[in-house]
Amino acid sequence: TDFLEEIVHLDLPIHSETSSVVIAKSNMSDRGTILVVMGASGDLARKSIYPALWSLYMHDLLPANTFIVGFARSKISIADILDKAFSPTEQEHAKFPGFSGINFYEYGSYSDAEESLLLSLRFDSIEEHFRQKHLSGHNRIFYVALPPSVYQSVTTLIKQVWMAPGEGKTTLVLEKPFGTNLGSCDELSDHLSDLFQSEQIRLVDHYLWLEMTGTIMTVRSVNSLFSQIWDKNFISSVLISFKEDFGTQGRGGYFDKSGIIRDVMQNHLLQLLCVVAMEIPCGCSQESAIIEKSKLLEAISPIDPDEVVLGQYIGNSDREDGYLDDPTVPDDSLTPTFATIVFHINNDRWKGVPFIMTAGKALNETKDEIRIQFKSSLMEDIGLDLKRNELVFQIKPVENVAMNVIINEPGLSPRLIEDRLSLDLRKHFSNHRFPDAYENLFAHLLGDGQSIGSFVGAEELRISWEIFSPLLEKIESEQWKPIPYKFGSSGPVKAGQLIQAKGFKGF
């Protein structure tokens, strides 16, 4: 494993926790920041936003003069929100009052300024505090953790009532989904661009802020071992997979409106495809990453319906319910819970290399990974049935970088075998902290702008919908019937056959 260990040992500032420290601590500006969590009563706030902010605070990574104001319609308190989001350990207790002291919660409406007066008053009182501290002003970040149905009204209200005063910067952060097809994406983009300048809008796909996403960029770009063979001459196919070993768990109502393609493929998995296939952005700016992603997406050919397999899970003998048994799902739903789609990138680097995306619920395991298979080895060419050289980035549930290589089996008459060089990042860096995606994201939003991750650009988003919308329209207008697959299986057999037909070995 030495050489893989070396890869990860490179002390690159862009991916280490110390870089976040530098980011946040360097932000000793004369300006304050108010972070507003819109939808603070919700699931994302509880599961991801508040735990990430607490963790940054715990590690002294929140810049000074930062205040966090939760906002939603529910008449709850900030104590309720923090209580549900995390429990400080015994060692952490001492810091909790400090964190609690910079957090507030106000209730109001997402569309009516008068009903939301409490939030305006809270801004006034924090502003007064900044004034007393002789700060030159403050920035406001509105993190919209709300259902998309509220995006238009809440963003209008922000623009009309709550923009940062004076020279202060206002940033609007939105979470996917950004529309459900090309038309609704355009509608949202037009609405936002009528209200805000492009540099004020930040569209978040949290997969772009995972530690492993940053690692993939590093491994492929700074190691000549890989950077020189990162193209059609050496790579035979790429498989990007997302697997969950659980179903909708009684909450299929939401999922049924989107299906697996809209839920994870058009956003998360497409972003991973970009990270593997785009040209390395020059410089570290957000804009250069977005430009490279857009160029790559432009080069993707229209999806061939013959290279698509859809599935929907059914119950199994262990009495696990099928998708249609979920009482919140319509009995006749054709929504796919599984899909495999092949993409072709029509540019010099990738022409002829299939990029296969496969995603599903209720499968045999929970795992997100990217498998990059290299062209056949000499051994294969002379007829030995060995697996391909393969570079594997496992993203969830553990972060692992692995490589399949062909070696000698020890013995007097050695046999050629393939084996795996594997680096489990959490075990290897057992005394390091692994910031989660939201910590990385907030360190960037609240810091001075350097980062490991990137955002989704408006043009990039539009192109992504140009890729997926025609397929989704076809599936929906022709009422494609997904292939049933058993809960706990590896998905429809036909999907495996398609993957093999594209030259990917060992699926």
Contacts with ligand NDP by CB under 6 A lie at: 39, 41-45, 47, 72-74, 110, 145-150, 175-177
- Two structure tokens written together for 499: 């993957």
**Residue 188 or residue 291: which is nearer to ligand NDP going by CB?**
188
**Residue 258 or residue 347: which is nearer to ligand NDP going by CB?**
258
Query: Cβ distance 456 to 441 under 8 Å?
Result: no
For residue 221, give the H/E element and its range: helix 211-222
Name the minimum Å distance from CB 101 to ligand NDP: 23
Name the residue with the smallest CB distance to ligand NDP: 42
Name the minimum Å distance from CB 178 to ligand NDP: 9
**Residue 202 or residue 220: which is nearer to ligand NDP going by CB?**
202
| d(C-alpha 234, C-alpha 67), whole Å | 51
Identity of the amino acid at 379: M
Query: Cβ distance 352 to 231 under 8 Å?
Result: no
**Residue 130 or residue 178: which is nearer to ligand NDP going by CB?**
178
For residue 45, give the H/E element and its range: none
**Residue 262 or residue 486: which is nearer to ligand NDP going by CB?**
262
| d(C-alpha 9, C-alpha 344), whole Å | 34
Name the minimum Å distance from CB 204 to ligand NDP: 8
- With 0-12 / 13-18 / 19 or more C-beta atoms within 10 angstroms meaning exposed / middle / buried, residue 323 is buried
Pseudo-torsion of CA 326, 331, 335, 338, nearest 10°? 50
Name the minimum Å distance from CB 497 to ligand NDP: 32
Name the minimum Å distance from CB 40 to ligand NDP: 8
Q: What is the 3-state secondary structure (H, E, C) of 338-396?
A: EEEEEEEECCCCCCCCEEEEEEECCECCCEEEEEEEECCCHHHHCCCCCCCCEEEEEEE
Identity of the amino acid at 341: I
Pseudo-torsion of CA 104, 107, 112, 114, nearest 10°? -80
Name the minimum Å distance from CB 205 to ligand NDP: 9
- Two structure tokens written together for 369: 């990974």
**Residue 81 or residue 239: which is nearer to ligand NDP going by CB?**
81
| d(C-alpha 40, C-alpha 80), whole Å | 10
- Two structure tokens written together for 417: 């075998």
Name the minimum Å distance from CB 46 to ligand NDP: 8
Identity of the amino acid at 463: I
Name the minimum Å distance from CB 28 to ligand NDP: 31
- Two structure tokens written together for 316: 């199994």
**Residue 177 or residue 491: which is nearer to ligand NDP going by CB?**
177
Catalytic residue among 138, 268, 344, 444: 268
Compute how many other C-beta atoms are within 10 angstroms of the C-beta atom of residue 124: 11
**Residue 40 or residue 277: which is nearer to ligand NDP going by CB?**
40
| d(C-alpha 416, C-alpha 127), whole Å | 70
- Two structure tokens written together for 75: 């008449």
Provide φ and ψ at 360, rounded to 5°. Answer: -165, 155
Query: Cβ distance 337 to 260 under 8 Å?
Result: yes
Identity of the amino acid at 86: F
Query: Is residue 129 flagged as an active site residue?
Result: no
Catalytic residues: 268
